Structure 1
Amino acid sequence: MNFNFTPFPVLETERLTLRELNLTDAKAIFGLRTNKEVNEFIDRKRPNNLSEARAFIDRISTLTLNNEGIFWVIESKSNHQLMGSIGLRNFEDEDDYAEIGYELDPIYQQKGFMSEAFEEVLKFGFNQMELKTIEAFTHKNNMDSIMLLEKQKFVFHPEIKDEGFENNISYRLTK
């Protein structure tokens, strides 16, 4: 699998624009990645300041430039607010595989925005990237995430473990 994310593929839905992350997003990314509700079920290092949020943006930009991952900002078409993010990474050539990750600001949850973004990214992954399998790891107690995955026809795989994250469970969607 050789991907080329240049130019960056902007995706659009009825209500959303999925676009490239940039340094002007640092404040919004800082807010999202430090939000207690967003991080309730995510085990990751949180940024302590805007400099660390900018460093995260730089790391994501490098991943995209090297075609090792792709990370979209979920932005509202109506007010151009950054609502969340969604991305594909951890590509495995022999299995035509990627892992999907996502987060959404709580004020936008339960309104169908993530489902809308998810469907567009899945189409991109299966059609443009020609992936065969997309996997999501989610915390076993994150019922909203589990319901989203099941709504998108992902199948629970209890035998798969997320190394280093004992509370995570695996859901997979195969084309």
Structure 2
Amino acid sequence: MSYNFSPFPVLETERLLLREINLDDTKAVFGLRTSKDVNAFITRDIPKNLAQTRGFIDSISNLVAENNGIFWVIQSDLNGELLGTIGLRNFKIEDDYAEIGYEIHPDYQQRGYMNEAFQEVLKFGFQQMKLKTIEAFTHKNNSPSIALLEKHSFVFQPERIDEGFEDNHIYKLVVSD
């Protein structure tokens, strides 16, 4: 099975709009991706300026256009503010598999926003994309991320190692037919 994300699938929850990223999001995405708190447990290149952030947004837009990943910004229904991001990628079509990744600005943590977005993206992945397995890679000390995964029935895979990121733990959710 291959995926087609055109038109882009906008998702809504009680308090959130999950929509396609665009260049108007550059400043907010820069703030998110340069946050020391957000990056405390993530190993990645941190943008040095808005131009690098625009490059990141372009790369995400290309990933979606090529149907190799789906990436939403999490926006507040109340005030339109960008709270975080969430996405599915690294598809293994033959295994109906994807990885989920997510981040939320510290100002919006511990308010249930990521739980709402996470639930909607899982529903999309399993119902619309017909995925059978979704995995998450999270730092072993990122207790809020681990709690979110466990709340959604992800199971720690102690026998697996994230090559090059030995401090990460791998969690898996499999749906049965």
TM range (shorter): over 0.9
CA distance in 1, matches of 2:165, 2:94: 24
Secondary structure, in 3 states, of the residue corresponding to 1:37? helix
What secondary structure does 2:85 align onto? strand
**2:76 matched to which residue of 1?**
76
Equivalent runs, 1:11-160 vs 2, <5 Å: 11-160=11-160
Q: Unaligned stretches of 5+ in structure 2?
A: none
**CA separation in 1, counterparts of 2:66 and 2:163?**
24
Query: Could you tell me how far 1:164 is from its partner in structure 2?
Result: 1.4
Identical aligned residues as a percent: 67
Unaligned runs of 5+ in 1: none
How far is 1:162 from its partner? 1.3
Runs of 4+ with deviation above 2 angstroms: none
Distance in 1 (CA, whole Å) between partners of 2:152 and 2:115 is: 8
Query: Residues 87-133 of structure 1, C-alpha deviation per residue, up to 9 Å, x if partnerless?
Result: 00000022110000000001100010000000000000000000000
The C-alpha deviation readout for 1:53-102, integer Å capped at 9, x for no partner, is: 00000000000000000000000000000000000000002211000000
TM-score normalised by structure 2 residue count: 0.98
Q: CA–CA distance in 2 between the matches of 1:93 and 1:25?
A: 30
Letter of the structure 2 residue corresponding to residue 60 of structure 1: I
2-structure distance, mates of 1:18, 1:173: 22
- Structure 2: distance between partners of 1:15 and 1:74: 10
Supply the distance in 2 between the matched residues of 1:41 and 1:90 (Cα, whole angstroms).
Answer: 20
Per-residue displacement from partner, 1:26-77 (whole Å, max 9, x unpaired)? 0000000000000000000000000000000000000000000000000000
